[in-house]
Amino acid sequence: MDSGIILNQVGFSVQGKVILHEISLSLTGRRIAIIGRNGSGKTTLLRLMAGLMAPTSGTVRVAGLDPAAERKAMLRGIGILFQNPDHQIIFPTVEEELAFGLRQMGMNAKEAGARVLAMLRTEGRAHWASAPVSSLSQGQRQWLCLMAVLLMEPETLLLDEPFAALDLPTQARLQRRMSQLDQRVVTISHDPATVIDCDHVVWIENGRVAAEGVPAEVLPAFKDEMDRLGLRDADTDLAG
Ligand SMILES: Nc1ncnc2c1ncn2[C@@H]1O[C@H](COP(=O)(O)OP(=O)(O)OP(=O)(O)O)[C@@H](O)[C@H]1O
């Protein structure tokens, strides 16, 4: 496998507000989870890995490349699933939306159409092909976006809360499908139960790495801290 995702002293600020503080990570496993509370900086970290923005300080490398500077090479190398499917969907029908990424990669319309139909059949959603995207529920649109990312077979998958809007059978099917993928998958989650099988867990707190390592080490400490905070009536430490 390649050299992984390497962050060296990465900082990120917006309008003078520091969101990430000097984060250094060497992520070389196949299954990586990023956990942490709301607003801790997880999505910002994922967006930096995807090259959707450049860090304010430090360096990000994915398979040896700077993702923010090498956007074209990264189109094939990195697939990202956003938290809100409506930030991702641009076409009116399911088959057009699914074919878009493949067409962007240079595949002809016939081949792309065949791949899309094969994916929909595998997932038991062949009847969705010509359906308007607007006729799908929020969870179904999330699933559609995930199928679009999987179709492109990128070397690195960056998934922001992929399970959040999915029903339990769809979650189980997705977890099974992800366990079979050869690619590196980075998943953001709030729920320790969904990341128990990962190789490496990174816990982000207030824009810093609070802990990282194997799930057996990181998850119990994370859960204890979340339980402790949940017993309090307010996040007084986050005030202001
Ligand atoms: N463009 C921006 N301008 C100002 N503040 C921002 C911007 N992007 C993120 N932030 C702030 O940075 C912090 C981290 O946001 P981020 O979306 O990375 O958190 P998160 O851990 O993914 O949260 P959640 O679990 O709620 O999705 C938040 O306080 C957010 O308000």
- Asked, for residue 224, whether it belongs to a domain, the answer is yes
In a domain, 179, yes or no: yes
Place 181 in a pLDDT band, splitting at 50, 70 and 90.
Answer: confident
Residue 120 lies in a domain: no
Residue 97 lies in a domain: no
**Nearest-angstrom CA–CA distance, 85 and 50:** 17
* Best residue for ligand 1 mutational test, from 42, 48, 161 (most atoms within 8 Å of Cβ): 42
Instruction: Work out how many domains the chain is built from and give that number.
Output: 1
How confident is the model over 96-122, as pLDDT tens digits?
999 998 998 889 999 999 999 999 998
Ligand 1 atom with the smallest distance to the CA of 47 is 18
> Residue 169: is its pLDDT beyond 60?
yes
Residue 2 contacts residue 78 (beta carbons within 8 Å): no
> Do the beta carbons of residue 85 and residue 145 sit within 8 Å?
yes
Ligand 1 center–CA 40 separation, angstroms: 7
Backbone angles phi, psi at 8, to 5 degrees: -120, 110
Q: Is residue 113 domain-resident?
A: no
Q: With a cut of 60, say whether residue 240 has pLDDT above it.
A: no
What does pTM read for this prediction? 0.88
Nearest alpha carbon to residue 88 among 19, 160, 40: 160
The residue among 74 and 15 whose pLDDT is bigger is: 15
> N- to C-terminal Cα distance for the chain?
44
State ipTM.
0.95
List the CATH number of the domain containing 36.
3.40.50.300
Q: Give me the DSSP letters along 100-125.
A: HHHHHTT--HHHHHHHHHHHHHHTT-
Q: What is the pLDDT of residue 50?
A: 93
Report how far ligand 1's centroid is from the alpha carbon of 99 (Å): 31
Question: To the nearest whole number, what is the mean pLDDT of the chain?
Answer: 89
Range of the domain at 214: 5-92+132-234
Instruction: Give the strands of the sheet with 208-213, arranged side by side.
Output: 78-81, 156-160, 184-189, 31-36, 200-205, 208-213
Q: Is 102 contained in some domain?
A: no
Structural domain includes residue 25: yes
The pLDDT value given to residue 171: 82
Q: Is residue 23 part of a domain?
A: yes
